Amino acid sequence: MIKLYLCEDDVQQRNHLKKVIENAVLIENLDMEFACVTDDPYALLDKAASEDNVGLYFLDIDLKTDMTGLTLAKEIRKYDPRGFIVFVTTHSEMSYMTFMYKLEALDFILKDDREEMSRRVHECILKANERFSLANNKTKEGYSITVADKIYTIDYDEILFFETSANAHKVILHCKTRQLEFPGKIKEIERELDNRFYRCHRSFLVNTENIEEVETSNSVIRMVNGDECLLSFRQIRGLKEKLKLR
């Protein structure tokens, strides 16, 4: 997932740009969501520092504080070196500064023409999503699911376990930070995944690399984020053997 950030001191400009971004994400059915919308660069920086996700940042340059958008972008790079930075500003004369700061900005968009600005913002969102997907495909393995006509690709290291849903023919995917329900069957999913996943219960398929501890007395597996899934008595021995090889 790409997290979205917006820093703009003018409230009307901020609300308009937020709406433009949200509409583009909705139209394109992208796996993106806002992490921070603010006029305070320090608040945005704190939020970016606390997140593990790659971000797409829309920044004004003149933020009416002691930190400019350029300085903010430079600080963001310390926490999110793979993030995508887009400047949206009235200061066309500042475009050359992005090169001096070595920020590798995705785009430099002027606010003068709202229609053109909206088009360019939409293009940036598509471009960031494409680059993010290509980078992930090269460096990480993931599992793709479809939820309400929207395709999600979840990195294996984010997956905790799959659970059979109470809703017929549905499975719940438990990740470190969210849950997604989608059509499927545990048995079929098991065949698609690699050997880091283990069928620990008829209703659960666990990612052994994200197991924190196993409580055989309570038949419970505790994951790295504190979530729990069930462990059947028959599967205890097989799980122990797999964890020894990990």
pLDDT at residue 102, rounded to an integer: 62
pLDDT-based confidence at residue 44 (cuts at 50, 70, 90): very high
- DSSP symbol at 157: G
Task: Dump pLDDT digits (tens) for 208-233.
Answer: 999 999 999 999 999 999 999 999 99
* Residue predicted with more confidence, 104 or 66: 66
Cβ atoms of residues 106 and 119 within 8 Å:
no
The CA radius of gyration of the chain, in Å to the nearest whole number, is 22
- Look over the chain and give the mean of its residue pLDDT values, rounded to a whole number: 90
Task: Dump pLDDT digits (tens) for 148-189.
Answer: 878 888 889 999 999 999 999 999 999 999 999 999 999 999
pLDDT-based confidence at residue 7 (cuts at 50, 70, 90): very high
- DSSP symbol at 9: S
- Specify the CATH number for 144-244; select among 3.90.740.10, 2.60.40.1170, 3.60.20.40, 2.40.50.1020: 2.40.50.1020
pLDDT at residue 194, rounded to an integer: 87
133 to 103, 138, 241: CA distances (angstroms): 21, 9, 35
Dihedral (CA of 195, 198, 199, 204) sign: negative
pLDDT at residue 77 greater than cutoff 60: yes
The structural domains of the chain, with segments of one domain joined by +, span 2-139, 144-244
Task: Dump pLDDT digits (tens) for 134-152.
Answer: 776 555 578 888 888 788 8
- Specify the CATH number for 2-139; select among 3.40.50.280, 3.40.50.2300, 3.30.10.20, 3.40.190.10: 3.40.50.2300
Domains 2-139 and 144-244 share a fold: no
Q: Pick from 89, 72, 84: which is nearest to 13 by CA?
A: 89
